[in-house]
A and B are shown apart, each in its own frame.
Chain A
């Protein structure tokens, strides 16, 4: 009953979603191997070997894998899958890109965005933008699963797994990497942040978004999120979008400023531990999920909040 976890990383370090996926994998089996596929990813493999409960780390390196080309992952994982009952990936952009491709090659269903594992064949996943939870039972012999990492705690450190290098054959180059454009940020990663400060359409401009949301986030050591309206209006970069079609976050504190709370946005943040909403419209749907709501104009409320936070030291 061995399980393979495909690590999500940036060739420098593991993303916390990997640790959380290991926790999900441990619910299925005691024999959890982690596949680190990348370019110059030896350090990532060493980090994976240190996760508690990991049996073995498999390291595969090529330029295509380093750029997360789906076809290269297919060529690597499909032969490896023979030795495993389940293959788990975090439901990140990477996992969502590669896992369905691998599942189809193996002629099995994809079980996506799993939030709970009932038993080896039974899983719970959100549907309809999180407005319903579906319990599904798989009849496939092999399971390909993506894991909603916010639903699982991170596996601890202290492991000492051995690393094994996987030989890979050269892939057919039907897809070629051209370029990438990374959004540089010194702030915590949105998906793993303890505190998230999010802004919506009410901010009105990119300058205002920076001056209000980003400054407040920096004061709190928080990651910056945004509603789709704020992203579409160009106030914030695409990868900061929280919601059904963006990132799903579950921080300890989610502070929504000037966000009305459309169902698509709520799908991305309603599992946060504490939700705070600042909105001048008392009827905004965000107040239905907020633990603490302040009906006020952010223009006065946020500076006052900054000042009080300053007083806290």
Chain B
């Protein structure tokens, strides 16, 4: 079976995002970018399915600027077989638009399973996977911490509030990866070199006949309110007294 894995190029998770002074967005000039951490987990899971002999081909897809080719090369170095970049230029598409483009890719590639991260750490929407499942009328398992694929079905354990839930999905299906699904591998240097030879197709967003006009207009991006500076207390006694008498929370 074929597995499609969707990856996004985002600000590196260790970088603190800075708001532009004109409040139009986040300053991404000269900021380190990486593959969204949840997407690394999704790629790892897809590659493991291939190593187990369950998947025959892993196709990585990204929608973003031309630099997202680096993100796809990372996926190829981790073990994906080929990659497709939908060149969207500087546009950061909304989850609904991304889901629509991915639906088109699913129609062309006919995968049995789509794996993607549970959320991107820039928009923090946690929506695209569920939206894709809805558009395709496929079953979904969001926030997966365990995935087992057998003939025609996937058994997925999901992280829910208060514990874990296990579902069985008829394939084809969409699964979004939570943190605990696996520990993504590092791409070795030989694999990074080999990845340069793997096929990476670049396509214009306009060649995918999908309406990607935004539904949400960003009016302003602002810094969150700054907390008043705290105090360093000298002792536990001091701490208890402050909490009791000053803060009134004990």
Contact of B180 among A99, A111, A177, A238 (CB under 8 A): A238
Once A104-B96, A294-B236 are accepted as A-B contacts, the answer to whether A178 and B168 lie under 8 Å apart by CB is: yes
Once A128-B26, A179-B166, A294-B233 are accepted as A-B contacts, the answer to whether A134 and B122 lie under 8 Å apart by CB is: no
Once A112-B126, A290-B230, A312-B244 are accepted as A-B contacts, the answer to whether A177 and B216 lie under 8 Å apart by CB is: no
Count of B residues near A, CB < 8 Å? 80
Residue of A nearest to B96 (CB): A109
Interfacial chain A residues near B242, Cβ < 8 Å: 292
Taking a contact as CB atoms under 8 Å apart, the answer to whether A96 and B121 are in contact is no
Taking a contact as CB atoms under 8 Å apart, the answer to whether B161 and A103 are in contact is no
C-alpha spacing A247/B95, complex, angstroms: 22
C-alpha spacing A155/B139, complex, angstroms: 34
Residue of B nearest to A118 (CB): B219
Most chain B beta carbons < 10 A, residue from A174, A183, A276: A174
C-alpha spacing A140/B213, complex, angstroms: 12
Tell me if A264 counts as interface (CB < 8 A to partner B): yes
Question: Tally of A-B residue pairs with Cβ under 8 A?
Answer: 254
Q: How far is the CB of A11 from chain B (nearest CB, A)?
A: 12
Among the listed stretches B11-19, B73-81, B104-112, B195-203, which one makes contact with chain A, having 4 or more residues with CB under 8 Å of it?
B11-19
Tell me if B49 counts as interface (CB < 8 A to partner A): no
Residue of B nearest to A15 (CB): B161
Taking a contact as CB atoms under 8 Å apart, the answer to whether B99 and A274 are in contact is no
Tell me if A50 counts as interface (CB < 8 A to partner B): no
Q: What is the 8 Å Cβ interface bit string for chain A, positions 99-127, against chain B (1 contact, 0 not)?
A: 11111110111111100000000100011
Taking a contact as CB atoms under 8 Å apart, the answer to whether A139 and B249 are in contact is no
Contact of B231 among A113, A292, A308 (CB under 8 A): A292
C-alpha spacing A98/B164, complex, angstroms: 17
Q: Give me the interface of A with B, judged by CB distance under 8 Å.
A: 10, 15, 67-71, 74, 92-94, 96-105, 107-113, 122, 126-140, 174-183, 191, 195, 228, 232, 237-239, 244-245, 247, 252-253, 263-264, 270, 273-276, 282, 287, 289-296, 301, 304-305, 308-309, 312
14 contacts between A and B (CB under 8 A): A70-B142, A74-B134, A104-B132, A126-B124, A128-B122, A132-B223, A174-B170, A177-B165, A177-B167, A239-B160, A245-B118, A289-B227, A291-B230, A292-B242
